[in-house]
Structure 1
């Protein structure tokens, strides 16, 4: 039987009946703790409530005819959609934020037709204060981030203490549940091939029908020794013999004359599964810490959640009444996602994770640190014709679902429950909601905000204002909001007006109002993906396009030189539709290079435009730091302040008349949230957007598209069981305990990248005469002879060198790899191409590519440009073993790989307006040929991307593959990737 929504049902017409609301028993109203910084309090939080409803209902509001209403009992708010920013749904960056190696582009694609451009007359009117804004210097801030922190542990050692320990860990308990078979680590499966077939079928395999057809091939099962012969038998084995994460429950709700379904799991059981996962056990955090740059404790350092002020202050408050408590910070996220392009099928997943798991593990989908907690109802209530009524009902439906799903947290957070970690240690744990991750529409829905900022009391027409460190713009008055919500019981007729006065949508029972230590306006954390990349930067890119003209912007995009970390937009950026977060991230990497010398209409100086663009890019890149200090947070605030100081250029150009944009306004709260909860990569929706693929889209594809959510939950349960059993099998086979907690260190900036070369050359034998022609290696013989002379001081002439060397092995790629700290996987972090023109499989000409790189002269440090020079890599080669004894004296060690480079000028002072270093190719005075040298490969630090100095009009004859040859002035791109931004500092 469906459950009636609320005390009866929703009505779309005016025939309301009197609302009867059941009384609730008071449990406790202890206030949540004040968040205290080292010097002054940040917040005095509201009174904690723990009223527990008895039924899963969307509460119906006042019925009867006691007051006049328009549309429904909430009144008519007008068009709700006009209050929200319109973001396109289901945007995501790449898996795990990994950069990719972009495909090669043919000459035909590169030299395609482009629209006519009109050159703007460059009659620039200089500004009186163009020299008034000093260039921001990051100095030693990035060096501080490399240091191991000085750690101050929480003083009460009882916090997070182990109460007792079981005789077995979670893996041995798993063995007891499925049965102990010492000789068969794959049990309940018969053999290794039996298990591997199951693992493939449920994680990588085809549909159930295809798998059944495969297994019905004559005698296949018998020859392989497999127990099952079709999908039905396999599924029965998984369901009956393998334990897994909690099962889903199904519940029906009647709202607006429509039956809605919600599929959800026991939230406490999900937290038990995460806390008790053996893979997470070595890394779990049980108590807060304060991290400092050094032992003077003058400067705080922030990264994971346990280094923020919220955890420390909440632990202090808990210890007053419950000493020995272990805080379990709960992070939830919800966001609709589209399942199909046709028929408009959608899902509404609700995800959960815990802050005890370090962020380096949480951000990896393969680590399964997030749990799909629920599929919320997906309905448009088309039967409700009044839009205001429909919006009210959908909001109450959302909150009612979450109230029911999170109801166990009320007592579990207040009194605590016993949780067992993967090693069998038992902790008394308090489950406390700490953060909500979501896009702006989700934030508005969760907080019940009518419009404006979901966190602070700023009004819609005040969002464009900026005042640094303004305490009045921190958080909304939660006590006043709770009082308005409670007024429904005492004064239902005035409920609508009470909510209107505090800027709240009339939601009777928000899911967060009864959670212990909860302050929902403090839990709405920043989001890099939707707020910056898909929000602020999307706006800035569109403003620049409107100001400078789409043809010229696209023409400059087509002429950017290639680089591993920078995408080439050979068709421009202004014509793209449904732009993803990853594409906006790539646009940001070239954005400053597009506007450095671009004239504005009417002869207006572009100085303020450059300042604004540089400032917002600084804010974006600083906000993504995995570690912050008090000084780096000052730089973050400086960048935002400078953007606001120069944003008026867009008003002067007639592009904007105000900056009342909620996502831009929310940026002023970033520093406070980082100090409260750690760096922003703890809460980026990029991670949960990626989960849509594994936990929603793939699940939907595995169904027959009828009653799909029931099938999706079953499919997901079986897959999780297989993944858990795989984890167990690996434990049985390895026979070793998991690594100790000392093996994991807090995330740093990981600036050093390991050089990697393939064992065999790309071309094993290239004649010296061909190197000059094919690789453009002017004076290669002379440079190599000079290298030999400098190594051992023999008198080697060019003729002697040619007699001793006929050909050389040549490599076309240099790769730099890094190790992922969470799983020790090797990832390609950077690469450098140096290969001549060639043909692809379709006989299209692929132009030559010779990338630029940073070369260390032997004195370069981890951070900074001192000791480095940019060079263009022409040839990577190795000297044959047979020639080493002839060319070099005994005892001289020569690098295995050598590089022939063309030098650029040295770094001097960066340009004042945009802070980039200007460099030029070095030429010989006589013939104008490049100045070249042979250097050891180990001196190559990483790739370098250069912005060409286009001038007021990008030359027509330049292309992406020829710009490094034809342009004579460049700027070093600081924004090529986050690693580059951290090392190219002044």
Structure 2
């Protein structure tokens, strides 16, 4: 590809034709069954959104393709691209392009070990430094990018219109139509792909000076036909003027211009990593650090007790910089806790600031639900409304003077895009970042660092062949079982909500140790009440108190529970102790992905090591649903 009309330089593009990739996936993973809209209730009135086929785009596109060529099977193509560094000091980088299909379950696509994504190409990484004019250089880099992507995806244009025969895992041959559905990337990548100007929304027509000002105003999505008409004008001056009217750059033949059934402005997806954690949450943390005393914030961070999945920032958070998404997630777990009663400088009320922080955190965690319904999407919009209703506190405190943040504005598109393409965990750029390790960095380490891309592709090809052969051998050793369809969503909650170890952490722990070391001085009384209530559920509270009233371990009266008498008669003075319990909590609809981790509650006393060092105890605080409590919220007992 030529970089400049007056430059004869060429740049290497390493790529694989896409039609072979869907063949590979459809044949290896997919056992096709009829696809249905799944509802959350018996009356079939509450629609559920999770994988891509539950979104409206798939159904609308299926109808459009069926009108032209009946009997079609949609194969949605999802492209993701992101530049990454291969070395820390030599300055070498790679620009991988990854590809997956929506027919694969997101539980497969989110696991790199399942190879649900495949490397499609390595784009040129040049920044064209010989072009001195910055605007011309940026425009030429964009043209080079689109020229490469147009070359890569040109082979799905005809199959997308006419179809191509593909065999699924069960051996059935279908006429499949690979159709571009989504492009996953961070904000600079979204600007590059759509051609909009930096600082504007890549999806809708909101003016730059109104970003984030009013959540109630819904601007329409950009008009694809108007953008295509502007880009197709031959005269360069008129073309530039028409593109300026549409608020896009005059890119030379964007790669999505001729793809069938493609609308790039509807193909930009929500992104949990870069839009939320590395975007809105990053801004929120900086606002909080500006509004409050940083010394007090750091002191409260240091005082937090240790807990499972809770990172203790021993030096505070005010001095941290260049935080990763994981570190922002760790801060989110404690952010509301250490500011909820912190006074603002000057004696101002922190109520609105706390509400704004809580609203952002609510949106953050709701957006990560594996399954959405109209109810949860309404909760998502409500969280965003609550933030906009309270965000002016940051203006009053002098933290912000405007809200022109594209990532913050994009949150209002989440519900619409989830209804269209499925939940946000279908398109997280965290998967792309993880793929960089396997398909770029590890591949580079296998080369001699000279002319590396041919060596990297050869190494990856060999690794892929080994992986498939290992899978085939494992299938043969298992007796060649027939392929079965994976269940999309389990409507019933699994029974293993709480898991305990097979053997206790400690045996024969005396009651005195429970009171002194474990901080449970009323354990004996609680055990007595529990035993009486278990044996006599018909007893009133007064009868339970009377039957469990005794002086341990010697005196007991005739009104005591028989089981309790038996336990004390045989000298019950110790019990076995479990130091941790594992459990999981699903979303509002009881859904849990198989890849989710268990949460762990610790109850460990302080210990002294062999060298005499004292290790502090850890006793986590939990809310136990003891009867009439709801699955969500803290109401009840």
Fold match, TM over 0.5?
yes
Contact persistence 1:285–1:357 (CA under 8 A): no
User: Is residue 2:460 matched to residue 1:693?
Assistant: no
> Which residue of 2 is the match for residue 327 of structure 1?
74
Partner Cα distance (1:487, 1:561) in 2:
64
Contact persistence 2:30–2:103 (CA under 8 A): no
> Which residue of 2 is the match for residue 168 of structure 1?
none
Contact persistence 1:328–1:356 (CA under 8 A): yes
> Which residue of 1 is the match for residue 369 of structure 2?
625
> How far apart are 1:569 and its partner, in Å?
1.9
Describe the superposition over 1:680-716 as per-residue Cα deviations: whole angstroms up to 9, x where unpaired: 1111112221111211122222222222222211111
User: Is residue 2:144 matched to residue 1:397?
Assistant: yes
Partner Cα distance (2:76, 2:320) in 1:
40
> Which residue of 2 is the match for residue 10 of structure 1?
5
Task: Name the structure where helix makes up a greater proportion of residues.
Answer: 2
Partner Cα distance (2:490, 2:452) in 1:
40
Partner Cα distance (2:108, 2:355) in 1:
37
> Which residue of 2 is the match for residue 668 of structure 1?
412
Contact persistence 1:756–1:817 (CA under 8 A): no
Partner Cα distance (1:568, 1:369) in 2:
35
Moved more, 498-507 or 391-400: 498-507
**Aligned with residue 577 of structure 1, among 321, 330, 353:** 321
Partner Cα distance (1:603, 1:432) in 2:
58
> Which residue of 2 is the match for residue 364 of structure 1?
111
Contact persistence 1:626–1:748 (CA under 8 A): no
> How far apart are 1:750 and its partner, in Å?
5.5
> How far apart are 1:492 and its partner, in Å?
3.1
> Which residue of 2 is the match for residue 57 of structure 1?
none
> Which residue of 2 is the match for residue 559 of structure 1?
303
Any stretches of 5+ residues in structure 1 without a counterpart? 12-255, 869-986
**Aligned with residue 15 of structure 2, among 264, 267, 289:** 264
> Which residue of 2 is the match for residue 416 of structure 1?
163
User: Is residue 2:274 matched to residue 1:526?
Assistant: no
Partner Cα distance (1:736, 1:865) in 2:
50
Moved more, 786-795 or 664-673: 786-795
Question: For 1:292, what is the secondary structure of its paired residue?
Answer: coil
User: Is residue 2:472 matched to residue 1:728?
Assistant: yes
> Which residue of 2 is the match for residue 479 of structure 1?
225
Contact persistence 1:286–1:327 (CA under 8 A): no
Aligned CA distance change for structure 1 residues 777 and 300 (closer, same or farther; 3 Å): closer
> Which residue of 2 is the match for residue 275 of structure 1?
26
Contact persistence 1:627–1:749 (CA under 8 A): no
Partner Cα distance (2:514, 2:322) in 1:
45
Moved more, 373-382 or 664-673: 373-382
Partner Cα distance (2:160, 2:602) in 1:
55
Partner Cα distance (2:345, 2:108) in 1:
49
Partner Cα distance (1:651, 1:311) in 2:
42
**Aligned with residue 812 of structure 1, among 579, 593, 597:** 579
Aligned CA distance change for structure 1 residues 543 and 866 (closer, same or farther; 3 Å): closer
Partner Cα distance (1:663, 1:336) in 2:
20
Describe the superposition over 1:555-575 as per-residue Cα deviations: whole angstroms up to 9, x where unpaired: 222222332132222221221
Aligned CA distance change for structure 1 residues 389 and 597 (closer, same or farther; 3 Å): same
Partner Cα distance (1:759, 1:540) in 2:
44
Residue correspondence of structure 1 range 830-909 to structure 2 within 5 A: 830-839=599-608, 844-860=613-629, 862-865=631-634, 868=637
Partner Cα distance (2:144, 2:609) in 1:
56
Question: For 1:434, what is the secondary structure of its paired residue?
Answer: strand
> How far apart are 1:326 and its partner, in Å?
0.3
Question: For 1:775, what is the secondary structure of its paired residue?
Answer: coil
Contact persistence 1:337–1:347 (CA under 8 A): yes
> How far apart are 1:754 and its partner, in Å?
3.5
> Which residue of 1 is the match for residue 498 of structure 2?
755
Partner Cα distance (2:591, 2:221) in 1:
35
Aligned CA distance change for structure 1 residues 609 and 794 (closer, same or farther; 3 Å): closer
Aligned CA distance change for structure 1 residues 552 and 316 (closer, same or farther; 3 Å): same
Aligned CA distance change for structure 1 residues 764 and 258 (closer, same or farther; 3 Å): farther
Partner Cα distance (1:785, 1:769) in 2:
16
> How far apart are 1:265 and its partner, in Å?
0.8
Residue correspondence of structure 1 range 420-819 to structure 2 within 5 A: 420-451=167-198, 452-468=200-216, 470=218, 473-488=219-234, 491-738=235-482, 740-741=484-485, 744-746=487-489, 753-792=496-535, 797-800=551-554, 801=568, 804-816=571-583
Partner Cα distance (1:459, 1:404) in 2:
33
Contact persistence 1:752–1:862 (CA under 8 A): no
Contact persistence 1:348–1:376 (CA under 8 A): yes
> How far apart are 1:594 and its partner, in Å?
2.5
Q: Which has the larger radius of gyration?
A: 1
Contact persistence 2:38–2:54 (CA under 8 A): yes
Contact persistence 1:400–1:511 (CA under 8 A): yes
Q: What is the TM-score with the length of structure 2 in the denominator? A: 0.89
Describe the superposition over 1:584-621 as per-residue Cα deviations: whole angstroms up to 9, x where unpaired: 12212222222222222333221211221122222112
Describe the superposition over 1:859-894 as per-residue Cα deviations: whole angstroms up to 9, x where unpaired: 5554454554xxxxxxxxxxxxxxxxxxxxxxxxxx
Contact persistence 2:528–2:548 (CA under 8 A): no
Contact persistence 1:751–1:862 (CA under 8 A): no
> How far apart are 1:831 and its partner, in Å?
1.1
Partner Cα distance (1:772, 1:633) in 2:
47
Describe the superposition over 1:932-982 as per-residue Cα deviations: whole angstroms up to 9, x where unpaired: xxxxxxxxxxxxxxxxxxxxxxxxxxxxxxxxxxxxxxxxxxxxxxxxxxx
Any stretches of 5+ residues in structure 2 without a counterpart? 536-546, 555-567
Aligned CA distance change for structure 1 residues 324 and 568 (closer, same or farther; 3 Å): same
> How far apart are 1:508 and its partner, in Å?
1.0
Question: For 1:804, what is the secondary structure of its paired residue?
Answer: coil
> How far apart are 1:781 and its partner, in Å?
3.8
Contact persistence 2:2–2:11 (CA under 8 A): no
> How far apart are 1:749 and its partner, in Å?
9.5
